[in-house]
A and B are shown apart, each in its own frame.
Chain A
């Protein structure tokens, strides 16, 4: 009996992790959802994350549970966030699950728009996984949680010592007291040149979210 979520059936979940023991461990949660688990021993043969989507379809999996760090052990040529983005674009429900830290969140921010669910690995269980897949499917159907909907908002540059390739911004419309780290490379060229403390930009951001790791930006424009 497949899992029925928001009008879709999930028969099989593909589990992506560079550690075989972790794949097996995630498989227990998937089994407890009463769906079958498929695992991939290596993704090295797939040169790009785009190829992964075709591969998964071929393996007849209809959802993906994916770890973030896939390159450490020579498992894949890309990281989990890139893979989840491609799944999202192909309307394949995918949950990113990892023990992330602040820096990982910064690296993922430019892709968060297309990553509906980021789970701490300690929080991954059959319930959170089911909710994660459900949220993905709802977004494919155009139903966004308030925490995921983006609107045009003002973004102020707080500090811009660019030596390390990033700077901090504050989004007054979200939380004027929290500084958010943004990679310089995430900005379009015309905005990048204007990064100076005190400068303001407009961007679309999901200001309805609660946690800084959920926040994403897109459509940057000079103010």
Chain B
């Protein structure tokens, strides 16, 4: 029997180092985290000629240093988490828990690494270790390269600490890398906290000092709202929102926060979430000391929600492009009263001593297990709750503004009367007469608008009711009738095909046809309110015409209307909402149907015609009804004007308004080519 070991070829160093941690800033950040674990208060990263090949990087800290055992059994060991062996440090810090792979990536950035460390425990000792990566090129396995830890004397005035010098860099560190590194270092140890004894990493580069100046500015007092949410170790959460004066405006219990997730407990460690929301409007900042531009720049650089575990930032949460709480997405989906990453800044902090959340090996965030999902849900629920409360508040504000509007108008009137009183007597009567005439015309306009609004509200309610019950009508009763008819047909045929054909076929066919006509109502109603149709997009006019006529076909057939489409060649299109184009055509068809009914027209004909001239499409709808009679041609477009008893008088108003919104115009001939009304709609199009 012989004893053997698994051994690693030197190539593994490249795979674990460079390939797993491809960006230099990530690796260097790991060295800084090592300094944190060593209880350093300061750590400086110095970049020397790194904008070209062959440069050097020096990382110096004032931590507790390492003894020979620490170097051999800690620093040189790859793949073991500090956390698995480490309890809190002398300063009570919880080790960040590097597995040493990021460190390996950083160390391999150059051809050589020189480690110099002075342990706190051994006051007169310094240890040096040189790693020359070239030596690993010619050996078979990693263990074949022997490394030597040199021990030397250290003067009594030299403080403990560690220096790592990486020489002869294999790649350049670009400007963007430096900026990313500077940003990561600044945010590493929660610069927004107030702990003066905290960890202060520094980068000796101008990019860093600019950012550091910026981060120190701390514009938190300029935030309009501060969301404070906490979840305890049992999963119970609470939250409050403070205004810019620090006064509490809203408060939430666990049930309020979790109302949309069955009041479940959060399965995550005890966590604190703070979010500062800014209203970047000139009116808000007019009375503040800071300028809107300064705050915007600060948020641009540091905005987003950063995640701190045991006091140290976990990348990439909150970094540019890593909107882990979907703040911007939710804002896009429902923009009112929601912050974006450019208008808010926040931090999620939690203490995790038992590794409930585990970082991925390549340091690209946590493994997304239950604890992480719980943490994320907690923060998202808190933001959702704040958005709901702010929306409620905005609704109340709008209601009170509506109530205040008449008061404002009365005050304006008093001011006007006073101003007229102050004018010379000679001009006063003329001014008073003009003001009164203006009042009267405004009042007429307001009355008209109120009537229009009332009509629109009534019709909207009718529409909403129709949609609500469309499922009901097109769904269940029709479904039952159809199933019943099909069953009768099936069973009767099975009993006696001859009897069925003779006695039942016709009435069964009649029921089927009638059912088809009934189904149109529900289908047409639901199709009209389809969300998609209310969004502006390319609309093919001919497709819309065909679609509507197709939907209305059973209705039109039921009313004995012969429809002819006389469409120009091609597919004229424009950019508009399909709903608007549909409302024009539907209302014009409805108008013709009402005219047929009113005049008892027997051979009913409806023609939809299109023509294109340059960039204008003309669509005409002609019928052979009675034409426009009993109302002036110019009045047919006015709301409420109708010759039909019980008519709304809104159809043609909607046509006019929709056409105008699309930049077109509308006109009518009392008796057109078919004898009845002919309505022309001209619309600017984008192409054919």
Q: A residues bordering B, Cβ < 8 Å?
A: 19, 21-22, 25-26, 28-29, 32, 69, 72, 98-99, 101-103, 121-122, 124-126, 159, 161-166, 181, 184, 189, 192-193
Q: Are B537 and A102 in contact (CB under 8 A)?
A: no
Chain A nearest CB from B525 CB (Å) reads: 10
Q: Are B531 and A164 in contact (CB under 8 A)?
A: yes
Chain A residues within an 8 Å CB radius of B335: 163
Cα of A22 to Cα of B487 in the assembled complex, Å? 13
Cα of A163 to Cα of B335 in the assembled complex, Å? 8
Q: Are A22 and B480 in contact (CB under 8 A)?
A: yes
Q: Are B476 and A28 in contact (CB under 8 A)?
A: no
Cα of A163 to Cα of B531 in the assembled complex, Å? 11
Chain B residues within an 8 Å CB radius of A25: 479-480, 483-484, 487
Q: At the interface, yes or no: B471 with Cβ under 8 Å from chain A?
A: yes
Chain A residues within an 8 Å CB radius of B334: 163
Cα of A161 to Cα of B535 in the assembled complex, Å? 9
The B457-488 residues at the A interface (CB cut-off 8 A) are: 471-472, 474-476, 478-480, 482-484, 486-487
Contact with A along B323-338 (1 / 0, CB 8 A): 1001001001111000
Partner of A19, one of B326, B480, B486: B480
Chain B residues within an 8 Å CB radius of A29: 483, 486-487
A-B interface, 3 closest residue pairs, ranked by CB to CB distance from nearest = A25-B483, A28-B487, A121-B479
**Number of contacts between A and B (CB, 8 Å)?**
79
A28-B483, A101-B527, A193-B323 known; A22 vs B491 contact (CB < 8 Å): no
Partner of B475, one of A28, A69, A161, A181: A69
Known contacts A25-B483, A125-B490, then 14 further A-B pairs from the complex at CB < 8 Å, ordered by chain A residue? A19-B480, A22-B476, A25-B484, A25-B487, A69-B471, A69-B475, A101-B526, A101-B527, A121-B479, A159-B537, A162-B329, A163-B332, A164-B333, A184-B329
Chain B residues within an 8 Å CB radius of A121: 475, 479, 482-483
Chain A residues within an 8 Å CB radius of B471: 69, 72, 99
A32-B491, A69-B471, A103-B531 known; A165 vs B333 contact (CB < 8 Å): yes
Cα of A132 to Cα of B43 in the assembled complex, Å? 69
Q: Are B483 and A26 in contact (CB under 8 A)?
A: yes
Cα of A189 to Cα of B317 in the assembled complex, Å? 14
Q: At the interface, yes or no: B597 with Cβ under 8 Å from chain A?
A: no
Cα of A184 to Cα of B334 in the assembled complex, Å? 13
Q: At the interface, yes or no: B439 with Cβ under 8 Å from chain A?
A: no
A21-B476, A159-B537, A192-B326 known; A184 vs B333 contact (CB < 8 Å): yes
Q: Are B532 and A32 in contact (CB under 8 A)?
A: no
Cα of A124 to Cα of B326 in the assembled complex, Å? 43
Cα of A102 to Cα of B523 in the assembled complex, Å? 11
Cα of A161 to Cα of B531 in the assembled complex, Å? 12
Chain B residue nearest to A192 (CB atoms) is: B329
Chain A residue nearest to B483 (CB atoms) is: A25
Cα of A102 to Cα of B659 in the assembled complex, Å? 27
Cα of A122 to Cα of B476 in the assembled complex, Å? 11
Cα of A193 to Cα of B479 in the assembled complex, Å? 41
Q: At the interface, yes or no: B530 with Cβ under 8 Å from chain A?
A: yes
Cα of A167 to Cα of B675 in the assembled complex, Å? 46
Chain B nearest CB from A51 CB (Å) reads: 15
Q: Are B483 and A164 in contact (CB under 8 A)?
A: no
Cα of A22 to Cα of B522 in the assembled complex, Å? 18
Cα of A8 to Cα of B675 in the assembled complex, Å? 67
Chain B residues within an 8 Å CB radius of A98: 475
Cα of A164 to Cα of B534 in the assembled complex, Å? 10
Chain A residues within an 8 Å CB radius of B329: 162, 184, 192-193
A101-B527, A162-B333, A184-B333 known; A32 vs B487 contact (CB < 8 Å): yes
Q: Are B479 and A22 in contact (CB under 8 A)?
A: yes
Chain A nearest CB from B516 CB (Å) reads: 9
Cα of A169 to Cα of B333 in the assembled complex, Å? 18
Cα of A21 to Cα of B481 in the assembled complex, Å? 10
A-B contact pairs, 22 of them (CB 8 A): A25-B480, A28-B484, A29-B483, A29-B487, A32-B490, A69-B475, A72-B472, A101-B527, A102-B527, A121-B475, A125-B490, A162-B329, A162-B333, A163-B332, A163-B334, A164-B333, A165-B333, A181-B532, A184-B333, A193-B323, A193-B326, A193-B329
Chain B residues within an 8 Å CB radius of A184: 329, 333
